[in-house]
Amino acid sequence: MPLSTGGSPRFRKPDSIEPVKTTDTPPADPSPAAEELLRLAVDAHESGDIAAAEAAYRDAAEAGNVVAAFQLGVILQTRGSYELAAAAYAPAAASGDTEAVLNLAILLAYELGRPDEAIALLRELALLGDVRGWLELGMLYAHQGGFTEAETVLRNALDDEPRAHMALGSVLSAMDRHEDALTSYRAAVAQAVDGAWSGVAWELMRLGRLEAAEDAATRGVAAQDPGAGGVLGVILRQRGRSDEAAAAFEAALERGEPAWLAYGDLLAESEGREDAAEAAYAQAIKHGEADAGTALVKFLVERGREDDVRDLIADQLALRPDDEGLRRLLESLPPAA
């Protein structure tokens, strides 16, 4: 869940794009030579010799072993060689390996700019009975802003995939259907889905039911629900209890929650804490929190530090060259002295 106090939920590539690393698909070519190459590759992989494992997986894959092709894809994807990883996954996916289909679809959708191909793969997977196809397809539609389509396909997964309740809650929230979103998040709580208490607390806050929101976030913290501490800090800040909010953010950060941006917002409005706020925003950028760069830019502009802003925007545009909001912000600044 987002930790700002306004705006819609954000739909990006999955928080963890780490590829699945196991497969039960039998080799397409059980020849002794291919099997031996695969055994050597697995031994090297397990011993930590990734270079040797990659070479052996590649040799086995070229001999037609789809398990080796899959594992080669994992190594390449983990390294960031997405085009090569997609090519490696392709024969395993074509053989019916569902894990390869999922990994390939994620690469196509979020790294290679080929969402139509990803949609086709995920829809085919879902129609073959793998509920993860519906889940990932719904998340992809939401990422593209197709919330109506996302709702439709996610509802196909609700009976068999608990995480679909979380994804549907985010979609409904983005559509400003907060009571429906609250119902979805409560269903996720009932199935012990990570982040569900945070979703409940967030929607209650959006509905203006701050006391109930605080209770839900507090219960989430007690249950060690990911993100609940940061949401609790946001709620306490909204209720005017700044010291308690600061303590909640600090505790959340100690647990590794992505709360730097919200903590920075709190510090920015606290007298004498500007340096600490700037440092918190910088940490938010370092940890990849959404909108952290924009928040720091706004913070600096409000304090007349346009030169620092230009440097920051240049750094952010190097990472996100298609961010039109940053470009408009840069154009709105007064000319450099």
Judging by beta carbons within 10 Å of its beta carbon (0-12, 13-18, 19+), is residue 204 exposed, middle or buried? buried
**Is the pLDDT assigned to residue 16 strictly greater than 50?**
no
Distance, in Å, from the CA atom of 251 to the CA atom of 50, rounded to the nearest integer, reads 37
The pair of structure tokens assigned to 315 is 């750094």
* Nearest residue to 14 via CA among 119, 140, 170: 140
254-278 confidence digits (pLDDT tens): 999 999 999 999 999 998 999 999 9
**pLDDT reported for residue 30:** 54
The angle that helices 260-268 and 228-238 make with each other, rounded to 10 degrees, is 20
Q: Residue 258 has what DSSP assignment?
A: S
Distance, in Å, from the CA atom of 22 to the CA atom of 287, rounded to the nearest integer, reads 28
pLDDT average, residue stretch 281-303: 87
Q: What's the CATH architecture for 260-337?
A: Alpha Horseshoe (1.25)
**pLDDT reported for residue 327:** 77
185-207 confidence digits (pLDDT tens): 999 999 999 999 999 999 999 99
Distance, in Å, from the CA atom of 285 to the CA atom of 295, rounded to the nearest integer, reads 10
* Residue where the block lists tokens 């889940």: 135
Q: Residue 49 has what DSSP assignment?
A: -
* Residue where the block lists tokens 């983005």: 174
198-243 confidence digits (pLDDT tens): 999 999 999 999 999 999 999 999 999 999 999 999 999 999 999 9
* Residue where the block lists tokens 């290679």: 112
**pLDDT reported for residue 336:** 67
Q: Is the pTM of this model over 0.85?
A: no
